[in-house]
Amino acid sequence: MTATFLKIPIIFLLYLLGAHGQEVKDRYYPRYHLAPPIGWMNDPNGFCVYNNEYHLFYQHNPNSSLTSTLVHWGHAKSPDLVSWEHLPIAMYPDQSYDAGGVFSGSALVENDTMHIYYTGNVILEGQTPDHTNRQAYAISTDGVTFTKYAGNPIIPGDDRQPNFRDPKVWKHEDTYYMVLGNSYNNDSLGRILLYSSTDKVNWIEVSILDQSNGSLGYMWECPDFFELDGKYVLLFSPQGVAAQGDKYKNLYQTGYILGDFDYSTLKFTPTSEFKELDHGHDVYATQTLLDNRGRRIVIAWFDMWDQNYPERYDGFTGIMTLPRELKLSSDGTIIQKPVEEMSRAEGRNLIPGRGRRGSSRTYTLRNKAGEIKVRADASNNLKLYIESGSVRVTLSYDATNGQVTLDRGGTDGVRRTEWKPSGQLKWRIFVDASSIELFCGEGEVTFSSRFFPDGPITVRLGQLSRAEHVSVHEIVRTVPHGGQDHERWHVCVGG
């Protein structure tokens, strides 16, 4: 076993001494979505409940907000999925099998121990392929310090199939299962492998859950597999899916296939096509958790590879989406709702909902954060503008064609999908400094997109739009801003 514990104070000290030479600016930094205290964030990892608190790890480069190179596991915890506290970095790329990055993975909690499964990235300089992936294991008995297993890697992998990663582990009856994302056939087709173990350390491949027939990409990342309201859900992030009209317009996708699964044969039988989970620009690399209340909760990286958003010059890159509870509707659509605890972050009701008919009134969000609720007659078109200086995001509903559009302007600003509300048009919109999440109806359609305001953020209905209800709630800060957090860490390291 290798103790990573001793390294923590030294590296923290470097942090505190400003090794990055950069302050995290507040203008784009989220007030209530988790973001790294400094540096880079990508995928959510190790989402679990430990000692009645939610823990979330994430792909993190503490040394730069410009690149994910040599990712670590950043770490935060929350009593309620709303207020987050940053914890010391959980794992460093300090072993031969993970020196090229402590890549994504998951956590399984058993008998007060956190069992962590992750991918070690190995860079093979000057060789073809130039990297390979191994699966590794670590444990924590205090939820703060992590010990990598001496027998790592637990699954060595095949150097001819270098892309083999992102273990998601769960237990069913007396057996442990792991799904892994993989690219095979000379890196041309994506698939998901199922492994099993009886002791958490020795694993064997037991089946291929599903694979690309060519139309679903060359690599499937970040797989997750779980039962939801009587169906099995294979949730993953395929790379290399071609755009088709309004579908698959992002660089990479995240979506799901529903099906049936039998633990005796370990066969997954798909009963649906691949469907995108979200229709905005920025949802990737999801991870779910089954919490103590039996809720299936998903969280995603609220960003996308190669976006190069301007926050990268503000000392941080990447945020998480709101945690969302998942349900399955009778027509086989996954419904996503912000966890109900979100109401704890609601501050004052700035604009109480009441009938508004073509009002030209503009509402200014406090501290660039808030929740907007709209209810309207679904037989009319509707437009809502979220604006800041020269920046505008338009949300529109087209009653004739049954479509919703988010347009953030600029190149490739439009995202659109079908939505035919049953009954009234209902929207919940969460705005947070540099992000917008739109939940349509009961959450059957969502859009999550980043945008970068030019000052205060205002909201108004389109001139011709009529709504029966528009309300704006303030949302208070529940995530410490990077700068403030340095203070907290100082206390934590010094103490």
Q: How far is the CB of 322 from ligand FRU (least distance, A)?
A: 19
As to burial, measured by CB atoms within 10 angstroms (0-12 exposed, 13-18 middle, 19+ buried), residue 381 is middle
Name which of 105 and 480 has its Cβ closer to ligand FRU.
Answer: 105
Name which of 59 and 197 has its Cβ closer to ligand FRU.
Answer: 59
The pair of structure tokens assigned to 292 is 């103590």
Q: Which residues pair with 495 in a beta bridge?
A: none
The DSSP secondary structure of 143-207, one letter per residue, reads SS--EE-TT--SB---TTS--EEEEEEEEETTEEEEEEEEEETTTTEEEEEEEEESSSS--EEEE
Beta-carbon contacts of residue 142 (< 8 Å; ≥ 6 apart): none
Strands (E), 305-456: 316-317, 324-328, 334-338, 346-351, 356-357, 363-364, 369-376, 382-388, 391-398, 403-407, 414-418, 425-432, 435-440, 445-450
Amino acid symbol at 85:
E
| CB-CB contact of 426 with 439 (8 Å) | no
Name which of 43 and 276 has its Cβ closer to ligand FRU.
Answer: 43
Name which of 42 and 449 has its Cβ closer to ligand FRU.
Answer: 42
Name which of 71 and 374 has its Cβ closer to ligand FRU.
Answer: 71
The pair of structure tokens assigned to 446 is 């969502």
Q: How far is the CB of 318 from ligand FRU (least distance, A)?
A: 10
Q: How far is the CB of 474 from ligand FRU (least distance, A)?
A: 33
Q: How far is the CB of 239 from ligand FRU (least distance, A)?
A: 8
Cα 316 off chain centre by? 16
Q: How far is the CB of 302 from ligand FRU (least distance, A)?
A: 12
Name which of 195 and 427 has its Cβ closer to ligand FRU.
Answer: 195
Q: Give the catalytic positions in this structure.
A: 43
Q: How far is the CB of 40 from ligand FRU (least distance, A)?
A: 9
The pair of structure tokens assigned to 58 is 């994430």
Q: Please give the residue ranges that form the binding site for ligand FRU (CB under 6 A).
A: 42-43, 59, 68, 71, 103-104, 119, 165-166, 221-222, 284-285
For CA atoms 272, 327, 280, 416, give the dihedral sign: positive
